[in-house]
Every structure is written in structure tokens, then in C-alpha cells.
Structure 1
Amino acid sequence: MKNIFKTAIMWSVLMITLSCNTGHSEKNEVTISKSELLDKIKGGWAGQVIGCTYGGPTEFRWNGTMIDDHIAIPWDDTRMLWYYKNSPGLYDDIYMDLTFVDVFEKHGLDAPDSLHALAFAHAEYPLWHANQAARYNILNGIMPPASGHWKNNPHADDIDFQIEADFAGLMSPGMVNSAAAICDRIGHIMNYGDGFYGGIYVAAMYSLAFVHNDIEFIVEEALKTIPAESEFYQCIADVIKWYKNNPDDWKSAWFEAQKKWTHDKGCPDGVFMPFNIDAKINAAYIVIGLLYGKGDYGATIDISTRCGYDSDCNPANAAGILGTMIGYSNIPDYWMQGIEKVEDMNFQYTEMSLNKVYDIGFRHAAEMIKRNGGIENDDSFIIRYQVPQTVPLETGFEGIYPTERKDISTRLTEQNNEISFGITGCGFVLTGYASAQNNQENNALEADLYIDNNFIETIKMPTLSLVRRHDVAWNYDLSEGEHTITLKTRNIPDGYHINIRELIVYSSKNPGKHVYF
């Protein structure tokens, strides 16, 4: 765990430096009118709702395949209102952002990561993947940055912070390094490495979209914030290269990304499965939409959606970034139809509507501008433009490779009180969940984990979904070789179960490419 805190210290030192030094650039200062600043902030928030709504019917229905052109995706003036009323959970991208906006609003822009973490962990909305794993960690005493670290969070490379980082860019116009500092405080709550970089990159594109009107430049310039050694950087750099080689066929870039970047190393739900919520491949789909959309709002949203996988979150990010660049007043009427019906409606689990967050976002951006050397005039701001600086390198799931996935379905109960199995490798993840029969009261079930007959930990498995442990057990620190994994019940009352589903095995030996004869 020392490496986690060493990384945190490095980040703190770097971010203090970045907040104070904007670097050298031809664009040292940018003047923006207050009306234009508000218009761009509104464009960013409204764009997220538009993109999320458009992609809503397709989310994770096209896994590993694109949505063909002949498949119609509906859009009219009823779509947003219908989702607000009937499926408000669609907007988890946005109400997650608003958790952090609300903490800043109530406690000031210096609110520590602990306040953000606790607000997030105690919120009433359901969570999945890295977010849920982090919530469980925080509620059980593992605070950030440890809560998002891959040794404690098997979903650390997942998309979670990427879909929630819009706010950091929207409150940092032209100040990418200030946006990165905000991301560091919040993104490590739930992610690490490539999962964290997804949020940094999205926030950087938003930040740059306030002061540049060239989407290709924004996409490339924002990537300077990400270490070139990371797979996230390499994936996005590939998309940019493929675009330049063939700028009129987004499907060619999609195929290349699919061939090279769709393997999932960490997420227990995606390893050796046709499901992928990894940050980098979904970020590639954001970028494919932005580049091949060529500034056309509808084309951008449609392409990002038709790339598949997390096809509501990806167009939400793309539409928000482009909406920031062109401004609310320039979003085409076709895509704005129906938004006036929802702008005064609070997002589920919040006391904030779009109209409220437009105002709050403007005030936060104004304060950030002044904190970073900018000047407020009667009707404009002078922004101290920041040249992107590269954040420190983090690598999740380093030196380990998934080698096997198998179904070991069984139940731990009061009667069936022990399960044991062998692995050959250096790590494992055991998937599953806790449950109760006949609507019994929520309970926290317990089982002891042993590795090679050595007690490791007591695992607590709440039956309440809101606070559940996302995976039963995992360990990535074993010596390479044969090991015996044992679970013994400690507290499982009659009628309750820990359902063991699948075993994923990791090795320190890179299997490399398969050779077929």
C-alpha cells in the first residue's frame, strides 16, 4: 500500500505546481464574455442529457459489434421527458457529476476528497463496477486513493470516472491542469491508471472546448495530459492516427480499435467475455464520434452511439464536449427539441435541475478563473490559459494476465459452509453476490478467506444491493504457482446465501499471442 500513498504525494506536489504555473503558450490569456461563458457551460450540461437520451435505448445491447445504419434510433420532442419520468436512472452519468458539484457548492472549491468520497458512498443511487466497489471500500474504512486502487478495486480500469468527470472540465475553462487537479482529488475515489486517465482526458477536452473551436485540435491537445507509456494514451493515439489515414470512414477506425483494444484485463465482468466497460475502448468511441463527426452535432452523437458498448455514456461525453465548443445557442434545433420540458426538473437523487446547474456551474467556473490568475471584468473574464501538462504514470493490473475463466457455481449457506478449489497462477477473482430467501431482512453475511491454509481476511457480503460487495474475493499478490483458495462461513443465518459464480485466474506469465497450427 506504500506505493498508493507515494503516488498520492507525487500527485499533490505536481498539482500544486500545475495550479500555479500555466506554462508558455501563444495563447497566454483568453478573453471570454460572461454571456459566452454561460452559453458554453449550458451547452456542456445540456449536451450530456441529449447524448445520454439518444443512446439510452442501445446501452450494452451491441457488445463487440456496431449498430448498423439501417437500425433507426428514435428522436423527437418526447424522448427526454419520457426518460426523466419513466427511467431516470439513465442519467446516472449526470447525477453522479452533480454529487461532486453539490459538495463544492456546499463546502467550497477546496472541499477535500474525503467529503466527496463520503457524499458519493452515502448517496441513495445504485452503483455498478468501479463505483460500487469504491462505495463498499469507503463504507468499510478504505478511503481514497486506496478505494480506487486496483489492488482493492478489481474494476479500477472501468469507465466510471470517465463518465463522471465532465464537471471538472466545465468548471475549468481553458485551464486543463486545474481540471486535472480536480480530477486527482475525485477520480481516485473509484479508479486508478487507465480508468483514472479516462476522466482526466474527458475533462481536458471540455476545458479546451471553451477556448478552441477546432475539434481535431481539442482531441489531440487534451491527450498531452496523459502519459504516453499508458495504454489509454496509445489507444487514443491510434484512433487519431487511423482518422488521419482515413478521415471519411469511421467504421474503419472502429474495426481497427476493435481488433487491437477490446481485450479486458481487469474487470471481472469483461475478462474473456463479449462485454467491455473498460475506459480506453469506450473513450476511443467518444473520440471516433468527435473526429468523424467533424463538428456536426448530429453526426457526432450518432457515430459515438453506433460504436456500441456503453452507447449512452459515450455520446453523452461527445455531445457535452461539442456542446461546450459550439455553445448552447448553437446546438441544432432538432437536437434541442424537448429540452425545455425537463430543464426545471431535478435529476433523480438530487435537488438540482439543468437550469440550477447552469447557474452553479457558471459561478464555480468564475471562481476557478479568478483563483488561477484570471480577472473578472464587468461583462467578461480574462482567463490565464494553461498549456496541458502530463500527469504521473499509473499502471493498473501491472505484470498480471488473465489465463482462465470458469464457472464454479455453488452456494455458501449455514449447512454448506465451506468451498475450496485450486488455481495455478499468481492471482484470482471470485465473482458472486449475497442474497436472502423470502424477502428476509437485509443482513451482512460473513465468510473467512484462506489461501494455502493461511487466513487472509473476513469477507463481509451485504445482501442489500445498494451497499453490496461487487465481487466476493480477489488477490493479485500471490507467488506464481499452485494455490488452494478456501472460503469458510462465519455468519450466514438460515435462509441466506453467498452465491459463488465464476473464477478468474491470473498469471505473471504473459501468454502472448496464440499460435494456431
Structure 2
Amino acid sequence: MGPAHTDTDVTDRILGGWTGRIAGNMLGKPVEQGELWTRERIDRYLRQAAALPLTDYLPEPTGDLEVALRPEWPQCVRGRIHGSCRDDDVDYAILGLDLLETHGFGFSTEQVGDLWLLRLPFLQTFTAERAAYRNLANGLKPPLTATYDNPYQEWIGALIRADIFGWACPGVPRRAAQLARRDAVLSHTGNGVYGAMWAAALIAAAFTAPSVRHAVGEALAVIPASSRLARTVRRVVSLHATRMSWEDTLTTVAEETGGMGWIHTVPNAAVLTAGLLYGDGDFTRTITLTVRGGLDTDSNGATAGSVAGVFGGAAAIPDQWKAPLEDTVRSAVFGYDGVRISELAERTLRLAEPAA
């Protein structure tokens, strides 16, 4: 752990986490379809637009595309952004905040499910979350909600819900992981749950770790060392330590995780870890490398932005990422559409339980 931080520092870091998550999500959203928007195709798009190195939101398309961007792209590219687009990667952070405000740190998995039914529209859920929601509506209880007729149990959905637990536990990664696990088992098992625990711990560690590499190490300590997720993250760490290039690291790990699919937790954690390590604490470099890494680009960009935003604080996030967001969040969570980013951060700060 690094030295203790002041209350002002924690305030700025929580705001940095929220802002970074939203900016990283917006950056990756237009190319979120990993089987089509591969790493190579994303870079070709950027080269054709003279946008490499990437230092801002994705450029607007200027000609014919190899494959279509996501339908939401007109609200997510540079020059067209006025507040954040609605996205489940941000909805779940908001829902998690509501969960902690309503039930505190002692919430149960059943209460997570009750809150989904109350505040989250069914059609704004996907993969494992939709399966779990359907199971909840049919009267099933956790952990059966995660396992019955759910082929997505190790996909990335639980990981994208984990940030709030890291922001609420600054400098206490193990506590953050415990909260994330209680949330994750509603819809996930195995590496799907470990991914949520790892992400929550990573964000909590970023408040006090002396480097991003240290935060990654602390996060690894909360999941089983023999899990596929832990082995893959360690592999990225070891390749980075050899000074292998970012491109070659991703190529190597992609070959080793082939066949898992573009929404599975494990290959996405590899892309995210590479973006964090090669970004080395620089906000712009971290989120742009992560999104250029492909797969679930908006989810990975969001988590990378959260970690980098916490690590450096909101004040260190360049204005080209912050200003277009206009301190405004669109959300499908009932009662939260149009909420201010700054308000979400203030409410999170009131809940935060830092290390003693």
C-alpha cells in the first residue's frame, strides 16, 4: 500500500472513478462487437481517420466502413457528445450505489435481485443478467438464479457491476471483493464471479497502491491462484515484465485464450490488464490502449477508465474526456436518468469506508 491519502484526495479519486468509467465506456461503445471489430479492424479505422495515436473519443466515420458501428455511435463520437449515452456498464454502477444506500454493506444477494426487479428494465439486461432476471421473475432464488438455464455464467456481466464496491472501499481490496462476490453470485459462477471480485479489489487498491502494477498484484490476491482468470492475468503481467510490446502481448494471450468468445471474462481481463500495465497510470493511454485491444470494448474501456480515474484522480483526467460528458448521465435505472456525475460521486463518498 502507498501512504494514506487525505479526504480531499479520496473525493477526487471517487469522482475520477465515476468520470473515468463513463468516458471509457463512451470511447468503446461505437466498436462494441468483438467478433467484428477486431483489434486490427479498429486500428485500420483509426489510421484511415488519421486518429493514431488515439487521444480523444473515436472519430466520426468519413466513408464506407468494413463493418457497421453500433447504432448509438452518433452520440458517442468526438464532436457529437452531449452527456453520456445510456449503457448497462453505467446502469449497474448506479444500481450498485442505490443498493448500498438502501441496504448498506450488509446487503444480501436476494436484496440485489429484488432491486433489479424494482429498478432495472428487463430489456436493458443481457446474457447472464437477463437469464438471472428471468429466473427471479419466475420465482427462483440465488444461487439457482445463476445456474438454471444460463449458459453465460462466466461472461463479463458481473465484472462490469463491481466498480461501486471498489469505490466504496478505498484502500480495502479484500472487503470490496467480498461485496462484489455477494452481488455476482446472483447471475454468475466460477471465473464470472472471480472477475467481479478481481475488478472490485483492483479499483479499491488503486486508491492507495504506489503503482498500477501493485494494484493488479493486490487484486490477484483475492481470487483463487489456480483459476483460469488468475493464470491469465499473471501471464499478461509476466509478458509485460519482459518488455514485450503491447501488440505482441495481446497476440500471445489471444492465442492462449482462443475459443472462449469475445464476452467471456477471461480474455477481456487480459485486454484490460494489458491496457492498465502498458498505460502505466496515464489516463488517455490506458483507456485508448484498452479499447484498441478489442473484444468487449465499452466494458473494458469503462473498467480501465475507472481504475485510471481512481489512480490519478478526476483532476488528472484531460478535459477532452470530461467536458463532452457535461456532468450528465443517461440511465435506464428508474429514477436516475439525467443524474449528475458529480452527485453520484458525492453520494458514493458518503458511503465510502476507507481502511482504518
Task: Tell whether 2:48 aligns with 1:51.
Answer: no
Q: Which secondary structure does the structure 1 equivalent of 2:5 belong to? A: strand
Deviation at 1:79, TM superposition (A): 4.5
Tell me the equivalent position of 2:298. Answer: 312
Aligned-residue offset at 1:191: 0.9
Query: Compared with structure 1, are the counterparts of its residues 77 and 302 closer, same or farther at alpha carbon in structure 2 (3 Å cutoff)?
Result: closer
Q: Distance in 1 between matches of 2:223 and 2:235?
A: 14
Secondary structure of residue in 1 paired with 2:297? coil
Counterparts of 1:32 and 1:156, CA distance in 2: 37
**1:293 shift after superposition:** 1.2
- Give the residue type in structure 1 aligned to 2:31: T
> Do the aligned residues in 2 keep the contact of 1:53 with 1:79 (CA within 8 Å)?
no
- Residue 101 of structure 1 aligns with which residue? 97
Q: 2:173 aligns with which of 164, 171, 176?
A: 176
TM-score by length of structure 2 reads 0.85
Does 1:234 pair with 2:234? no
Cα distance between partner residues in 2 of 1:295 and 1:34: 21
Corresponding residue number in structure 2 for 1:142: 140
- Aligned counterpart, 1:193: 190
Shift of 1:330: 1.2
Residue 201 of structure 1 deviates from its aligned partner by 0.9
Change (3 A) 1:79 1:316: farther
Residues 327 and 261 (structure 1), Cα distance of their counterparts in 2 relative to 1, 3 Å cut: same
Structure 1 gap ranges (5+): 1-26, 265-269, 271-275, 370-382, 385-517
- Structure 2 CA distance for aligned equivalents of residues 332 and 213 of structure 1: 21
- How many percent identity over aligned positions? 27
Moved over 3 A (4+): 61-66, 75-80
The aligned amino acid for 1:70 is R
Are the aligned partners of 1:205 and 1:321 in contact in 2 as well (CA < 8 Å)?
yes
1:346, distance to aligned residue in structure 2 (A):
5.1
Correspondent of 2:9 among 6, 14, 36: 36
Shift of 1:344: 4.2
State the distance in 2 between where 1:79 and 1:172 align. Answer: 35
- Say if 2:286 and 2:305, in contact at 8 Å, map to a contact too: yes
Q: Is the 8 A contact 1:346 1:354 kept in 2?
A: no
SS in 1 for 2:4: strand
Deviation, structure 1 residue 284: 0.8
Q: Please state which structure has a larger fraction of its residues in helix.
A: 2
Mind listing any 5+ residue stretches in structure 2 that lack a counterpart? 52-57, 60-75
User: What's 2:67 paired with?
Assistant: none
**Contact 1:162–1:279, Cα closer than 8 Å, also in 2:** yes
Aligned positions of 1:196-345 closer than 5 A: 196-247=193-244, 249-264=245-260, 270=261, 276-339=262-325, 341=326, 343-345=327-329
Label 1:227 to 1:63 Cα distance change in 2 as closer, same or farther (>3 A).
farther
- After superposition, the Cα gap between the structure-2 partners of 1:231 and 1:355, relative to the gap in structure 1 and judged at 3 Å, is same
Q: What is the CA-CA distance between 1:52 and the residue it aligns to? A: 0.7
Of 329, 347, 351 in structure 1, the residue corresponding to residue 331 of structure 2 is 347
Q: Distance in 2 between matches of 1:76 and 1:137?
A: 37
- Offset of 1:331 from its aligned partner? 1.1
TM-score, reference length from structure 1: 0.59
Relative to structure 1, the CA distance from residue 311 to residue 346 in structure 2 (aligned partners, 3 Å threshold; closer, same or farther) is: closer
Q: Cα distance, 1:291 vs. partner?
A: 0.8
The partner residue of 1:133 within 124, 131, 134 is 131
CA contact (8 A) 2:173 2:200 kept: yes
1:370-385 correspondence runs (5 A):
383-384=355-356
Q: Which residue type is aligned with residue 192 of structure 2?
A: G
The answer (yes or no) to whether the contact 1:64–1:258 under 8 Å persists in 2 is: no
In the alignment, is residue 364 of structure 1 matched against residue 351 of structure 2?
A: yes
Pick the structure with more strand per residue. Answer: 1
Per-residue deviation, residues 170-196 of structure 1 (Å, max 9, x unmatched): 100111111111112101111111011
| In the alignment, structure 1 residue 162 sits paired with structure 2 residue 135 | no
Deviation (angstroms), 1:76: 7.3
**Structure-2 separation of matches of 1:152 and 1:234:** 28
Equivalences, count:
323
Shift, 1:77, TM fit:
6.4
2: CA distance between counterparts of 1:78 and 1:42?
A: 23
Answer with 1 or 2: which has the greater Rg: 1
Q: Is the Cα contact below 8 Å between 1:131 and 1:160 reproduced in 2?
A: yes
- Bigger RCO (CA 8 Å, 6+ sep): 2
